[in-house]
Amino acid sequence: MQRTKTAEKTSVAKGADVKAKAAKASKTKTAKTYAAPALEKGLDVLELLAHQPAGLTKSQLARELNRTVSEIFRMLVCLEERGYIAQLSEDRYSLTLKLFQLVQEHPPTERLLVEALPVMHHLAHVTKQSCHLGVLELGNVAILAQVNPPTRIGFYVKLGSTVDIMDAASGYVILAHQPPEQLERILAEWERETGRTQPSDLQTHLNKIRKQGFEKRPSYLVKGVVNISYPIVNERGWAIGALTIPHIEYTDSEITMAMVMGELEKAAAEISGKLGGSSLGKKR
């Protein structure tokens, strides 16, 4: 009984705190010279949902933001039509990855290419293997950059192509190096886009990748190819992409797979460093 009373008091305190913050925000908004109430309501919804991977109902959103349900409903309709949010189940809403897509279209993506391409050219030259840089796009990995090796024959992934995140080593590497809330959001988006359920061993798989810092496994789509993938990380250690070599074995090559992996690890760390991130420090 004591625990129940304590929990109720805590819940009431949190609710009062939320309403106090909303009231304070409302007063601040009123004092602004150039107010944009509709825009502010929309941003309030997006910012709140950003911290709610399981989503919220209209009533919960209205309560947390100190708004009426009718105000929230009109905003939800607009945001859903523009693709920023999606209805999960019943009356629950969650963010989509559209904001993430917009970030990718922002100039920092250009910087990613500028910093990555010289390193990728060097990598392809020393390993005699093709390499590609993948980033998330909805439920897929999109190939943002690709470099061929200086050989007469080889295997490569087409620039601009997309592959399901669950069918790509780079997809698992990116997933493994996401903050928990972002990971849940990405997986929810993938389920909506594909109509499929997550693999039963997904979390075990991702934990293994986190521990070793990379993924190496036979291609999900092509026999005879071994995909080796390392994350490109930001200053917080979260993956913004993955650098991958679809490794093929040449009959007369003196370059071993271990050597290729060493060069790939260095290349990924170098690109990460140029973008403000750092090596994950994992050992093979």
- Name 134's bridge partners: 143, 242
CATH of the domain at 27: 1.10.10.10
Identify whether the C-beta of residue 243 lies closer than 8 Å to the C-beta of residue 267: yes
Residue ending a domain, among 95, 129, 162, is 95
Alpha carbon distances (Å) from 126 to 19, 121, 151, 209, 263: 60, 9, 11, 25, 8
What angle (nearest 5°) sits at the alpha carbon of residue 169, between those of residues 168 and 170? 90
Same-domain check for residues 146 and 25: no
Is 109's pLDDT higher than 60? yes
- Predicted confidence at residue 97, as pLDDT, reads 80
211 plus 138 within the same structural domain: yes
Confidence class for position 64, pLDDT limits 50, 70, 90: very high
Q: Do the domain assignments include residue 279?
A: no
Indicate the residue among 34, 69, 95 that finishes a domain: 95
Same domain, 224 and 243: yes
Alpha-carbon distance of 265 to 283, in angstroms, equals 10
In sequence order, the β-bridge partners of residue 216 are 228
Give residue 66's domain range.
2-95
Burial label for 39, CB within 10 Å (0-12, 13-18, 19+), is: exposed
- pLDDT tens per residue, range 192-249: 888 999 999 999 999 999 999 999 999 988 999 999 999 999 988 999 999 999 999 9
Tell me: the pLDDT tens digits for 19-54?
444 444 444 444 455 678 889 989 999 999 988 888
pLDDT at 175: 97
Domain boundary among 65, 95, 125: 95
Structurally, the chain folds into a number of domains equal to 2
Whether residue 192 is contained in a domain is answered as: yes
